[in-house]
Structure 1
Amino acid sequence: MLEPCEGKLSRTVLRGESGSNTADLLDQLIENKQKFISQIMTSKAPVRSCEDVDEAALSYAEVKALATGNPAVKEKMALDVDVAKLKLLKANHMNNQYRLEDDIARNFPQQIAKLTEIIDSYKADIAHYSEHKITDTEQFAMEIGCKVFTEKKEAGAALLAVCKDIKSVDAAMDIGNYQGFNMRIQFDGWSKEFILSVKHEAVSKVHLGADALGNITRINNLLDSYPEKLSEAQQRLETVYEQLANAKEEVGKSFPKEEELNQKLERLSELNALLNMDEREDAEAEVSESDEKEERPARGSIHEKLQIYKEKSQRESETGKETRKRDFGLE
C-alpha cells in the first residue's frame, strides 16, 4: 500500500535527477525568501512600503535548469532577494527624503513659531506674577463671583460651591481673579473632574479636588511652576532647531547603495536573458521533434504492413487495367 507523500514528491523526483545538490538549491530558495519575509513582518527594519517579492518564483525553464544543476538559477534566486531588499531600502530612503523636505518647509517652522509664542507668554506671565504675588500670608485675597475673600478656607469653599452650580459638561465659566490672573472653571466629561484655568498671556490648568484648602495650594503651585514651564519650552525649542539643522544636512543625499543596486539589476537582466534563451532553445527542440514525428512513417504490426502492401498492389493493378483499355481503344 502506497503512503501519501504530502509535498515530498517534487524533492524525491529532483533528487533522482541530480542528487542532493538540487534539494540544497530548493532549501536555499526557501531560506532566502523566509529571511526577507521575516524582515518585513517584524519591526527590526523601518519598513514603510514593500514591493511584490514573488518574483523569485521559478519559471518552467528555471525548474528544468534547477533539475540539471544549472548554477545560473541559484545565482538568480540570490539576486532576486538582494534586489528586492535593495529596492525596499531605496523606497524607504526616498520616503525619508520627502519627510525631511516637508519638515524643513512646514513642520519645523510651525513648531518654532508656536514654541516662541509660548516662551514669550511665559516670560510675560512670570513678570506679571512677580508684580502681583502675595508675599505676606496675612494679605491673602481671592475674588470669586464679584466677592473678595481674605481667608483661604472661605475662598476654597466658594470654589467648591461654584463647581456645584456648573450644570453643563465642558462649558467654561469665568469665576474671578487671583494674584493678577483670571480664573475659569469647567467640568471635564471625560475625566469627570473640575478643571481650573488661570490666564494672563498663557493659559495653564490644574485639576481641582474636594479639599477646600488643598485647591488653593494647587493654584499657588501652578503659578510657582511657570519658571520651570518656561525652561521646558526653551529646551524643546533648542531640540527643534537641532532637528532642523540635522534635516538640512540629510536632505538631498542620494541612496547610499545605488551603485550596488544598479550592478545587481544589470546582472539579473543578464541571467534572465540567459534563462529565456534556454527556454526558447528547448521550445525549438520540441517543435523540431514534433515535425520529425509527423514525417516519420507509422510503425505498426506485420498484419498492418501486409494490408497496406495489398491495398497498394490493388491500386496499381487497377491503374494498369485502365491504361491497357485506353491503349486498345476499349474506352
Structure 2
Amino acid sequence: METRSSVSRSLHTNRDLEKLEPYEGKPSCTVLRGEEGSNALDLPDRPADLEQRNGRAVRKGNTVKFWGGNVVDIIIYGTEKTLDAYKFNLLRNKQLFINQINNGTIAVRRIDEDSMDENTGMNFAEFVAVLSGNMDLLNKAKLDNRIMQLEKEQAIFNKERYRAERKIAKNEQDIEVTMQAKQRMSEDWAYYNGYQGERKTLLLNLQQATAEETGRELHKIAKSYRSEAIGTVGSYIGLNLSVRSEYHYTGVFERNIFLVEGKSGLKYKCGLSGALPLGFADSAAYPQATLDKLPELIRRQQEKIDQLANEIPILKQIVSRRWNKTAELDALKQECKELQQKIDNSLKELEQQPVVAAIAA
C-alpha cells in the first residue's frame, strides 16, 4: 500500500468504521479501519513506535483502497524552532544507533537512515532540517544521503575488484599445484605401464600366498587395524601398499582405507572411498584396479587447469574496470563542504546577534 509522509497542521476527519485498539492508551494515536491516514499529535520516545503507529494506517485490511485510491496520508505535526526539532534529533540518533547494532557496523560513524516508509517518506534527518527552519540543513541532508549512496556503490565496486584480484592469484596458484599433481600422476602412469616384472600383490607376512589368501588377509587387516598413522602392509610392482584408520570427530572408529603409493610420492585410494571390495580375489587386485584409473585422474586434472585458466581473462576484465562516478562524488563532496561552511557562517551570525530579554512586569 502506498504511503505519503508530510508535516502538516490540517485537521483530519476519520471515517468511523471498525475501531481498533488505542496505541499505548493515547486517543490521538488511535487508528480506525478504513480511514484515510493517521494523525500524530505527539512524538514517541522510540523510533519503532513511530513506525508502528504509521503502520496502523497502512496495515492489511484497510478499506481505503476501495475509495481513496489506495493512498494513505501519514500526518505528523511539528512546530519549527521548538522542542519538536530536539525530539526528532533524539529519534534520529536513536535510529542511527539501532541501525549500527542491527547491521553490525557499530564502528561506522555514518549510516544511511533510509526513509520511514517504502516510497516517499522523510527520514529523521530531513524532519530535523525542516523543523529547524534552516533549509540549508535539508539540502545538506540530501547531499549527505547521495554521497553516502555513491560511497557505498564505490565500496561495492572496489570490493568486486579486490575479490577478482584475489581470485586471479588463487587460480594461478591452483593451476600451478594442479599441474604439478598432473605431472606426478603422469610419472606414475609411465612407471606402471613400463614395469616389466610380475604384477602381483605381495603382503609382508604372506609372500607366497594365492590371490584368495592375500585378499582374505587384507580383510583381516581391515577389521583389526587401528591407527591414524599410515602402516605398510605389502607392495605391488615395487610400490608400497599401506593402510590408515579414519575416525569420527567424536573419536569413534569409522573405517580403514587402503592406499597405493606411487613413485612420485602421491598416494591413491583403493576405489573412491579407500575400502576393499567384497571379494577376496578383487581385494588382492585392488592396487592394479587403482592404478588403472590414472588416465581418468590425469584428464580431470587437465579439465581443472582449463577451467581455472578460462576464468582468469574474465577476472582481469573486472580488475581493469574503472568506476565512472568518481567525478560526481568529488563534486558532491565539494558542494557539501561549501554548504557546510555556509551553515557554519549563518550560525556564527546568530551567535553574534544581541540577545534581548523580555521581562514581564
State the TM-score, normalizing by the size of structure 2.
Answer: 0.57
Paired residues in the alignment total: 267
CA distance in 2, matches of 1:41, 1:149: 71
Shift of the alpha carbon at 1:154? 1.9
- After superposition, the C-alpha distances for 1:200-223 in whole angstroms (9 at most, x for unaligned) are 123212322583436457655432
Report the equivalent of 1:171. 229
Confirm whether residue 121 of structure 1 aligns to residue 184 of structure 2.
Answer: yes
> What does 1:78-89 align with in structure 2 at a 5 Å threshold?
78-89=142-153
> What secondary structure sits across from 1:262 in the alignment?
helix
Of the three residues 258, 270, 275, the one matched with 2:338 is 270
Percentage of matched positions with identical amino acids: 17
How has the CA–CA distance of structure 1 residues 13 and 210 changed in structure 2, closer, same or farther, with 3 Å as cutoff? closer
2:140 and 2:336 in contact (8 A); partners too: yes
- After superposition, the C-alpha distances for 1:22-61 in whole angstroms (9 at most, x for unaligned) are 9xxx9xx99xx99xx69x959xxxxx998433486978xx
Of the three residues 248, 252, 259, the one matched with 1:197 is 259
Amino acid at match of 2:77: R
CA distance in 1, matches of 2:286, 2:171: 34
Shift of the alpha carbon at 1:151? 4.0
Shift of the alpha carbon at 1:247? 4.1
CA distance in 2, matches of 1:86, 1:51: 16
| Cα RMSD for the two superposed structures | 4.5
Shift of the alpha carbon at 1:193? 1.2
> What secondary structure sits across from 2:242 in the alignment?
strand
CA distance in 1, matches of 2:141, 2:254: 61
Report the equivalent of 2:34. none
> What does 1:13-162 align with in structure 2 at a 5 Å threshold?
15-17=77-79, 51-54=108-111, 65-67=129-131, 72-98=136-162, 100-101=164-165, 107-132=170-195, 141-145=200-204, 147-148=206-207, 151-162=210-221
CA distance in 1, matches of 2:108, 2:222: 58
User: Which structure carries more relative contact order (alpha carbon 8 Å, separation 6+)?
Assistant: 1
Shift of the alpha carbon at 1:65? 3.9
Shift of the alpha carbon at 1:16? 4.7
**Structure possessing the higher radius of gyration over alpha carbons:** 1
CA distance in 1, matches of 2:174, 2:129: 60
Confirm whether residue 9 of structure 1 aligns to residue 9 of structure 2.
Answer: no
CA distance in 2, matches of 1:79, 1:230: 59
> What secondary structure sits across from 1:187 in the alignment?
strand
252-261 vs 227-236, greater mean Cα deviation:
252-261
CA distance in 2, matches of 1:117, 1:203: 14
CA distance in 1, matches of 2:275, 2:307: 33
CA distance in 1, matches of 2:215, 2:106: 57
1:160 and 1:210 in contact (8 A); partners too: no
